[in-house]
């Protein structure tokens, strides 16, 4: 009989089954299997982090839990006695034959289970109920031990006093007193690590903090010399049988434990750092990584280690500057917000919160790929630092919360400040009082209230959110900015103060950190937290909000003149130049005006006073106009989105005529314009005889009037009309939109100029055809309103839709020219006017990508070829349909 604790065995065995299920889900591309693995991992984590009070509850139920997991592993077989598969996977050595056999059998059982979605969902729900009951027990325990207030327990990483221990140890050394330096203070950067780095943060028997220090004291009005990378460790020991950790802070406890044995450096190399020696210590070797240990509240020097990262010796760049000058993708915004939220929760109530956490104190350091390679420096948005001055202007010595400033609306400035930062990240710009043309408030309360009200105003403005308009994100913002979310009676003593702090910290975790975490899990971006690409060359031109106001557009137009193009913007311009060269090679003889392809663009209209249409050739191709939104008889666009699409269609298909249907005055009104869209479809088909209809919008649910209009058009035109529509811009959070998912419509997704599908695309519809198509949809330049002299850069599946429609128009125009040469040409032209025919040619001209069933349109396959060869590609693609 083994003496191993059954809870330890259960945690190990279930965690290994979770790993098998997760890998199986990736291998089989079976999402339900990955979900099962994630739920099993939560169960294992729950067992591992159970408190002493929960252990009794767990021990009564652990046998039943193991039996349930064993059934999943052997499904659909019934195990009469014991847990043979879990025993083997949990206790056998991973290289042993017994382990390998058990792993094979578990893989087969989980594959059988997840091939039946109904059974798998029941299993996941059963496991979920187990953890929910455990959470309920945890909440009951917390309530009995502390306060009658109902609150959700939050995961414990390490006791909060460790944060204070580190802060106090460093504070003693930040004022330099060495004789060779004028007295000043060292600048400090605390690396805010993502939660997924917990294995690095708590390594062996050590808690790990990562810092950067200026290797010379900072003085007001002066710079600094170099940055020193410092690893700061705090010893600890785990008492395995009690499922909790205990930190070691004095020699007596150390002498009775074995924590020193787990240190990565030898005891003999440690030496105390005396006051006044810190500056000399961190200047010894600025190209190494210094290792310090907190012992008895003092710093102990342990030696040098290889650099963790190579940081340029230049001032940090604040989040404010990043938002002013860089374009952040939706993935980057969510990852950064989550890392900062988890860090606020981790340090909330500690001395590290005496520094104001704002877009000015959150900073980023330029990092090089190799020593001295400053020319290749990059900013990594998911490695933010908190800039700390222990006696500087950023410190708030009266930092206790709540604030009792008379007249202040929001009593918790740290939570409010983080809410403001979340708004800034989401809309991609810092919030400043002068944004509204208001004078600076004169009192502290008025300034605080003005900042809060402005942030609330921005958080409720749907037009500002663009690619970050996620319900969970907005929920986190609203919780932080809601003045009533944390309002409690003023604590009367120290015990009530601690209870108040604990309540706020738990509430922050549940209502801010968890929603952001679930959002990252839903978008499949959680595993990419530490691998998000660095920011590219600064540019603001590409970050014009999708629903920006005309005043914003004019501001961004002026900004364009001051900034260089980003890499993706340059590549998009090259892509368009390549398309122009292809069109020059495709002979398209215009026999008559009606022989031109007609593309109908249904959107916000078109401003024919935009500089793009000053070219007479472009203006002459605006063939038709109809306004269902306001009844205007002249070309008009109050927003700019439609003008951008119309001019882009003209660039892609330079011989096509464009018919413009205004179905709404702004993109947000499109959601209520389904009847206008249906009328425009019918009009474009019957009156304009459009060959292609482009719809760069969509609805969450099917719109019967639009479905009916599409079916009628297909019937009346004998299927010889092609519809394009935008898939969606919400990633995996939303399914493919309607009408993109309509059976008679070609759904388009967006790629960059190299054919990589962007993360704003929705997943492939399981009922969709075996493949989906994508084309350029990132940072694409085209015209805007007449007030803007320059082109603007836009992204999304709405852009890819009109690009795809333009490509189809160019290909169809070439086929129409060839149709004059006999029956074969007429056959190809006739088939290419249908959805089935266009998709067949798209397949012939597309290239595979790294994602299965995702094809990237590459019409360049027609470039540089003899016309006979080019024509043969068309014939081969269409002859069999």
Encode pLDDT of 531-542 as tens digits: 888 886 554 333
Q: Would you call 672 helix, strand, or coil by DSSP?
A: helix
Spatial separation of the C-alpha atoms in residues 780 and 571, rounded to whole Å: 9
Radius of gyration over every alpha carbon of the chain, rounded to an integer in angstroms: 31
Identify the pLDDT of residue 406. Answer: 78
User: In Å, what is the CA distance from 620 to each residue of 210, 615, 623?
Assistant: 63, 9, 7
pLDDT at 229: 83
Using omega within 30 degrees of 0 as the cis cutoff, is the peptide bond preceding 516 cis?
A: no
Distance CA 42, CA 37 (A): 9
**pLDDT of amino acid 279:** 77
- 399 flagged as catalytic: no
**Per DSSP, what are the bridge partners of residue 218?**
185
Which one of the listed residues 507, 610, 798, 819 is annotated catalytic? Answer: 798
Q: Going by DSSP bridges, is the β-strand pair 657-662/598-603 parallel, antiparallel, or unpaired?
A: parallel
- What SS3 class is residue 811? helix
pLDDT at 660 > cutoff 80: yes
Position 136 scores a pLDDT of 54
CB contact burial 548-569 (16+ within 10 A = b; e otherwise): beeeebbebbebbeebebbebb
> Residue 705: which residues within 8 A CB-CB, separation 6 or more?
674, 675, 677, 678
Q: Are 597 and 827 in contact (CB under 8 A)?
A: no
pLDDT of 348 above 70: yes
Checking if the pLDDT of 852 tops 70, the result is: yes
Give the pLDDT confidence score for residue 766 in this predicted structure. Answer: 66
Q: What is the DSSP letter of 384?
A: -
Q: Which range has the worst mean pLDDT, 542-546, 565-569, 736-740, 784-788?
A: 542-546
pLDDT at 812: 94
Alpha helices (runs of H) in 772-834, residue ranges in sequence order: 797-818, 823-832
Cis peptide before 796 (omega within 30 of 0): no
CA neighbor of 815 nearest in space, from 789, 780, 846, 841: 841
Tell whether the model's pLDDT for residue 5 goes beyond 60: yes
Q: What is the pLDDT of residue 703?
A: 93
Segment holding 659, helix H or strand E: strand 657-662
pLDDT value of residue 834: 95
pLDDT for 356 equals: 85
Q: What is the pLDDT of residue 395?
A: 56
At 259-271, the pLDDT tens digits run 333 344 434 456 7
Is there a contact between 724 and 754 (Cβ–Cβ < 8 Å)? no
3-state secondary structure of 350: coil
For the cut 90, the answer to whether the pLDDT of residue 833 exceeds it is: yes
Q: pLDDT band at residue 393, thresholds of 50, 70 and 90?
A: low
Q: Which listed residue (451, 467, 603, 608) is catalytic?
A: 603
Q: How many CB atoms lie within 10 A of CB 518?
A: 12
Dihedral angle, C-alpha 197, 202, 204, 209, nearest 10 °? 100
pLDDT 10s digits, 272-292 = 887 777 777 777 776 778 888
State the pLDDT at residue 233: 80
Domain segments of the chain as ranges: 6-145, 595-820
Q: Which tokens sit at 379?
A: 């900013």
CA distance 282 to 229: 9
- pLDDT, residue 687, reads 95
Confidence of residue 553 (pLDDT cuts 50, 70, 90): very low
Q: What is the pLDDT of residue 156?
A: 46
List the alpha helices (DSSP H) in 186-329: 198-201, 251-256, 278-282, 319-325
Q: Which of 45-59, 117-131, 186-200, 761-775 has the lowest mean pLDDT?
A: 186-200
- What average pLDDT does this structure show over 833-859? 92
CATH 3.40.50.200, applies to 595-820: yes
289, containing H or E segment = strand 289-295
Q: Two tokens at 143?
A: 């309530």
Catalytic one among 479, 641, 644, 657?
641
pLDDT, residue 137, reads 52
Per-residue pLDDT reduced to its tens digit, 82-99: 788 888 888 888 888 888
pLDDT number for residue 546? 34
Percentage of the chain lying above the pLDDT 90 cut: 28
Residue found under tokens 């892609």: 652
Q: What is the pLDDT of residue 717?
A: 94
Q: Is 641 a catalytic residue?
A: yes
pLDDT tens for each residue of 598-649: 999 999 999 988 888 878 788 889 999 999 998 998 899 999 999 999 999 9
Asked whether 316 and 364 are in contact (CB, 8 A), the reply is yes
Query: Among 207-216, 395-404, 738-747, 799-808, which stretch is predicted with the lowest mean pLDDT?
Result: 395-404
Indicate whether 149 pLDDT > 50: no
Read off the pLDDT of each residue in 685-713 and give the average, rounded to a whole number.
95
Q: Which of 48-62, 462-476, 844-858 has the highest mean pLDDT?
A: 844-858
∠370-376-378 over CA atoms, to 5°? 100
Q: Which helix (H) or strand (E) holds 244?
A: strand 244-247
Q: Which bin fits 301, alpha (ψ -120 to 50), beta or left (φ > 0)?
A: beta
Give the residues across from 292 on adjacent strands. Answer: 232, 301
Beta strand ranges found along 680-783 (DSSP E): 692-695, 722-726, 745-751, 772-776, 780-782
Chain center to CA of 593: 48
Least confident of 24-33, 125-134, 359-368, 419-428: 125-134
Distance CA 127, CA 134 (A): 11
Region 457-485: mean pLDDT is 84
Distance CA 624, CA 689 (A): 11
Tell me the pLDDT band of 53, cut-offs 50, 70 and 90. low
CA 61 to CA 58: how far, in whole Å? 5
* Confidence label for 204 from pLDDT (cuts 50, 70 and 90): low
Q: pTM for this one?
A: 0.48
Minimal CA–CA distance to 167: which of 388, 494, 401?
A: 388
The number of angstroms, rounded, from the C-alpha of 199 to the middle of its chain's C-alpha atoms is 23
Q: Is 781 helix (H, G, I), strand (E, B) or coil?
A: strand
Output 390 or 754, whichever has higher pLDDT.
754
394-425 pLDDT per residue, tens: 555 445 677 777 778 888 888 999 999 999 99
Residue 474: both structure tokens together: 């907005």
How confident is the model over 703-730, as a mean pLDDT? 95
Please state, rounded to an integer, the average pLDDT across all residues of the chain.
79
The yes-or-no verdict on residue 313 having pLDDT over 50 is yes
If one compares 770 and 252, the residue with the highest pLDDT of the two is: 770
């Amino acid at each position: 009989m083994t003496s191993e604790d059954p809870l330890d065995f259960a945690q190990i065995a279930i965690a290994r089954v979770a790993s098998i299920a997760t890998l199986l889900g990736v291998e089989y591309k079976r999402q339900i299997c990955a979900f099962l693995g994630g739920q099993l991992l939560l169960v294992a984590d729950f067992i591992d982090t159970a408190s002493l009070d929960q252990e009794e509850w767990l021990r009564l139920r652990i046998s039943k839990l193991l039996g349930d997991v064993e059934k999943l592993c052997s499904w659909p077989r019934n195990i009469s006695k014991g847990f043979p598969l879990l025993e083997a996977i949990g206790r056998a050595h991973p290289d042993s034959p017994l382990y390998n056999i058990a792993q094979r059998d578990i893989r087969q059982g989980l594959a059988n289970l997840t091939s039946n979605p109904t059974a798998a969902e029941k299993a996941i729900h059963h496991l979920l109920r187990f953890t929910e009951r455990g959470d309920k027990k945890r909440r009951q325990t917390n309530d009995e031990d502390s306060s009658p207030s109902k609150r959700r327990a939050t995961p414990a990483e390490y006791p909060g006093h460790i944060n204070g221990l580190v802060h106090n140890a460093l504070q003693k050394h930040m004022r330099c007193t060495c004789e060779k330096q004028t007295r000043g203070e060292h600048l400090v950067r605390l690396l805010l690590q993502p939660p997924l780095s917990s294995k690095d943060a708590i390594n062996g028997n050590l808690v790990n903090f990562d810092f950067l220090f200026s290797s010379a004291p900072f003085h007001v009005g002066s710079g600094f010399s170099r940055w020193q990378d410092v690893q700061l460790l705090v010893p600890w020991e785990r008492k395995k049988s009690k499922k909790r950790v205990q930190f070691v802070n004095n020699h007596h406890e150390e002498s009775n434990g074995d924590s020193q044995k787990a240190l990565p450096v030898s005891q003999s190399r440690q030496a105390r750092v005396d006051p006044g020696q810190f500056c000399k210590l961190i200047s010894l070797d600025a190209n190494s990584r210094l290792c310090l240990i907190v012992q008895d509240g003092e710093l102990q020097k342990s030696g040098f280690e290889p650099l963790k990262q190579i940081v340029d010796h230049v001032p940090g760049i604040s989040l404010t500057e990043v938002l002013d000058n860089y374009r952040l993708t939706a993935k980057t915004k969510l990852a950064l917000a989550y890392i900062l939220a988890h860090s606020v929760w981790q340090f909330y109530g500690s001395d590290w919160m005496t520094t104001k956490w704002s877009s000015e104190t959150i900073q980023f350091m330029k990092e090089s790929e190799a020593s001295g390679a400053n020319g290749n420096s990059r900013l990594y948005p998911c490695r933010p630092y908190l800039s700390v001055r222990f006696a500087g202007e950023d410190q708030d010595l009266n930092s206790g919360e709540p604030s009792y400033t008379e007249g202040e609306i929001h009593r918790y400035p740290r939570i409010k400040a983080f809410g403001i930062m979340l708004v800034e990240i989401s809309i991609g710009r810092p919030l400043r009082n002068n944004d509204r043309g208001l004078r600076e408030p004169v009192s502290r309360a008025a300034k605080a209230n003005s900042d809060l009200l402005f942030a609330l105003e921005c958080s409720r403005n749907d037009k500002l959110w663009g690619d970050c308009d996620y319900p969970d994100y907005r929920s986190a913002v609203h919780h932080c900015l809601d003045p009533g979310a944390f309002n409690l009676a003023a604590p009367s003593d120290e015990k009530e103060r601690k209870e108040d702090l604990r309540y706020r910290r738990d509430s922050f975790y549940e209502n801010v950190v968890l929603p952001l975490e679930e959002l990252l899990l839903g978008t499949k971006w959680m595993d990419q937290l530490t691998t998000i690409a660095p920011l590219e060359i600064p540019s603001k031109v590409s970050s014009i909000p999708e629903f920006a106001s005309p005043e914003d557009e004019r501001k961004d137009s002026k900004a364009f003149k001051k900034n260089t193009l980003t890499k993706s913007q340059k590549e998009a311009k090259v892509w368009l130049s390549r398309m122009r060269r292809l069109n020059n090679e495709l002979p398209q003889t215009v026999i008559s005006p009606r022989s031109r392809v007609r593309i109908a663009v249904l959107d916000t209209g078109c401003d024919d006073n935009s500089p793009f249409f000053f070219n007479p050739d472009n203006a002459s191709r605006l063939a038709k106009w109809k306004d269902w939104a306001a009844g205007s008889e002249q070309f008009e666009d109050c927003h700019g989105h439609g003008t951008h699409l119309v001019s882009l269609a003209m660039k892609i298909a330079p011989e096509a005529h464009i018919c413009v249907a205004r179905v709404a005055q702004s993109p947000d009104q499109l959601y209520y314009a389904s009847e206008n869209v249906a009328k425009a479809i019918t009009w474009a088909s019957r009156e304009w005889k459009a060959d292609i209809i482009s719809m760069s919008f969509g609805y969450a649910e099917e719109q019967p009037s639009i479905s009916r209009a599409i079916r009628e058009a297909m019937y009346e035109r004998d299927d010889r009309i092609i519809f394009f529509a935008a898939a969606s811009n919400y990633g995996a959070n939303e399914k493919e939109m309607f009408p993109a998912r309509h059976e008679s419509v070609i759904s388009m997704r967006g790629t960059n100029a190299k054919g990589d599908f962007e993360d704003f695309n929705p997943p492939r519809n399981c009922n969709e055809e075996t493949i989906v198509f994508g084309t350029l949809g990132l940072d694409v330049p085209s015209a805007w309103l007449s007030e803007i002299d320059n082109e603007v850069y836009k992204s999304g599946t709405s852009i890819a839709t009109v690009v795809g429609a333009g490509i189809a128009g160019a290909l169809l125009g070439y086929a129409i020219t060839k149709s004059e040469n006999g029956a074969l040409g007429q056959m190809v032209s006739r088939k290419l006017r249908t959805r089935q025919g266009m998709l067949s040619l798209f397949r012939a001209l597309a290239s595979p990508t790294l994602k299965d069933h995702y094809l990237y349109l590459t019409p360049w396959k027609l470039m540089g070829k003899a016309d006979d060869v080019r024509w043969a590609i068309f014939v081969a693609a269409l002859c069999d349909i």
